[in-house]
Structure 1
């Protein structure tokens, strides 16, 4: 937003695999503003508070939130916030337990249990709980392979094993590696896949991500994908 020029730009997209909010938006601004205004940018909150690395390390880990997962990591003294299928975004420390996620203009507040262990946080008034990642043995990965179809989206994915790792393929979007986090659940750049079973075994999965929740894909007989 550029209040002095009474000008604002809104960038919309149905995926984050583009550069709309980065370089392309900057070029768009340049088309409408004179050169003297090229350096104008929205004000950012600057905070001189910097928690110790030992404090930040207590918050790193994986959490269930809003139908998906959030991975909290540390990068050179900055706590990073990454939701399922999205990029990692930096936070600004407001205190030892409260951090501002500038990309959303919302705070992340961490909580400790009675033993002093950080096991949850609150974001957008929704609680999140930490969980330990479950490592699926490579020998169990073939049970998840197959072709899956969503009648709702009329979309088809193929899950396969390569080099003792699980991948998912779409003819247009390409291939995504999947990492297990809990039993029958995997996460990758595509989002979170929660596999479900019937009496015969794996019968489908529910796909959740930044903009979708529990899209059901039913397992089909193995078919070639063009």
Structure 2
């Protein structure tokens, strides 16, 4: 393989490669050798310290593969079984109608509600004032699961938080100590650690930043000591060592058999395969198999992208909360694997040429509200500047038409298809989000029939949730419904129909008694990571 000029790579990061800007650390690996590594931008704006390959970053959810490896090592030693019910190790978790196993936690198929979303809903800030036992207590108070374990794959940080607790209870060591003894030290990853003490001094740390409204930067750092679902501090240099271990495993004396296990995706109860293995996403990019994971927490973003058959990897870490390492890592791969991508690249261009204009009346007929039948999530579709737009949780995506009933979301890397089901009427009854030709999500069109100003009074009052141990208050101000909750800004609630209200990323489905009086609501939040949690008036 003839290596391309580094200048092409540097151009991708030139926007951040300057004084006064946070930036990136990058490493590119081919056939076991680091062929390019460097830093772009500043690790510390206060002290004018540049980012280098040995700058230390919080890699957030990219940490999950290390937590999963700890579990795999314990299983290999016979100290636990992946098919054990989790209550064997964490007795505080109630037994639900169906068993939850360690394997369910690994593959995000447990149905357990996401603890970070639960904390936000409960008004618990992600600060160092809640020890692990309080978070376990919060999870244990949940009376229901999002779904029957094994029926769905839904990313949940609770699973990896609980895996960390299982490591602690089985081994007698914290996750940080166990991982250091069994992974980091044996591999020579001298800088890497689970950062379970926010007061710890970290040499060469890149400070995390986010953008201020005026375009300057603010420090954006975590003081949260909880690890497992995240929490690793590391460098691109150490991650190069970790990457090589996937080809020549040195851990536990288990050889490549251990690696084969951790890169094997899970399966649902139906037998359908999912794309998630042991903290690793098994996918494809432009026709080539990939193994990857990304992460984002506070002012840090990360991506490890591996092409196993080409033995090529890109490691991209950033100390800027708005950065997009996954996108940049793919662009680096485009440069280095251009010969491998030639055929697929033509297909990608072809995808763009499928887009065409359709009459505005066809766009207008798609507007309205659509609710995900599983998660409760509500999308609003509207036409702006002649384009069909999806708005949800403060984000917007453009639906580019291929035909009057077939659209593509071009501003998401996987380019999912959106198909509208014609109902024989002027307006569609459902839309389907499709990935790789498979229908992943079903949204039902909602009749928009908001209550009048007098009927809005039905919703006002205080509502208590036992599972969160918190009270919400709904009030009316200037004709709008406002949700007031602990440690959160007031949020406007938009009425969709008689008993359904929509917030930024929450949906409230109200229920009534025999006299048609509102008695409470079920709330879904966090992109469906918490479903149907009950509040009583």
Is the TM value for this pair above 0.5?
Answer: yes
Moved over 4 A (4+): 6-9, 17-21
The answer for the alignment partner of 1:222 in structure 2 is none
Aligned length: 205
Give the Cα separation in 1 of the matches to 2:300 and 2:449. Answer: 33
Please point out which of 63, 76, 89 is paired with 2:385. 76
Helix, strand or coil for the counterpart of 1:159?
A: strand
| Structure 1 unmatched ranges of 5 or more | 220-226
Give the Cα separation in 1 of the matches to 2:387 and 2:485. Answer: 34
| Structure 2 unmatched ranges of 5 or more | 1-11, 13-26, 30-235, 237-291, 303-319, 336-344
The answer for the alignment partner of 1:207 in structure 2 is 523
The answer for the alignment partner of 1:95 in structure 2 is 403
Question: What is the deviation of 1:20?
Answer: 6.4
Question: What is the deviation of 1:55?
Answer: 2.2
The aligned runs of 1:41-60 (5 Å cut-off) are: 46-47=352-353, 48-60=355-367
The reply on whether 1:24 has 2:321 as its aligned counterpart is yes
Please point out which of 128, 135, 139 is paired with 2:454. 139
Please point out which of 489, 506, 509 is paired with 1:191. 506
Change (3 A) 1:215 1:108: same
The reply on whether 1:10 has 2:285 as its aligned counterpart is no
Question: What is the deviation of 1:158?
Answer: 0.9
The answer for the alignment partner of 2:419 in structure 1 is 109
Change (3 A) 1:204 1:10: same
Give the Cα separation in 1 of the matches to 2:444 and 2:502. Answer: 16
Give the Cα separation in 2 of the matches to 1:182 and 1:19. Answer: 40
Q: Is the 8 A contact 1:70 1:82 kept in 2?
A: yes
Give the Cα separation in 2 of the matches to 1:98 and 1:130. Answer: 16
Change (3 A) 1:171 1:116: closer
Give the Cα separation in 2 of the matches to 1:27 and 1:214. Answer: 32
Question: What is the deviation of 1:176?
Answer: 1.0
* Structure with a larger share of its residues in helix: 2
Deviation per CA, 1:32-91, whole angstroms, max 9, x where unpaired?
A: 99xxx7xx8xx98634523232321121111232323221112223221234x4522222
Q: Is the 8 A contact 1:176 1:190 kept in 2?
A: no
Deviation per CA, 1:146-181, whole angstroms, max 9, x where unpaired?
A: 121222223331111112221101131211111211
Give the Cα separation in 1 of the matches to 2:500 and 2:531. Answer: 14
TM-score (norm 1): 0.73
Give the Cα separation in 2 of the matches to 1:80 and 1:91. Answer: 6
Q: Is the 8 A contact 2:377 2:505 kept in 1?
A: no
Give the Cα separation in 1 of the matches to 2:357 and 2:300. Answer: 30
Give the Cα separation in 2 of the matches to 1:133 and 1:190. Answer: 18
Deviation per CA, 1:179-224, whole angstroms, max 9, x where unpaired?
A: 21111211121421111122462221111131321111112xxxxx
Helix, strand or coil for the counterpart of 1:161?
A: strand
The aligned runs of 1:27-38 (5 Å cut-off) are: none
The answer for the alignment partner of 1:223 in structure 2 is none
TM-score (norm 2): 0.34
Give the Cα separation in 1 of the matches to 2:301 and 2:28. Answer: 22
Change (3 A) 1:186 1:146: same
Please point out which of 209, 217, 221 is paired with 2:535. 217
Helix, strand or coil for the counterpart of 1:174?
A: coil
* Structure with a larger share of its residues in strand: 1
**Which one has the largest radius of gyration?**
2
Q: Is the 8 A contact 2:369 2:446 kept in 1?
A: yes
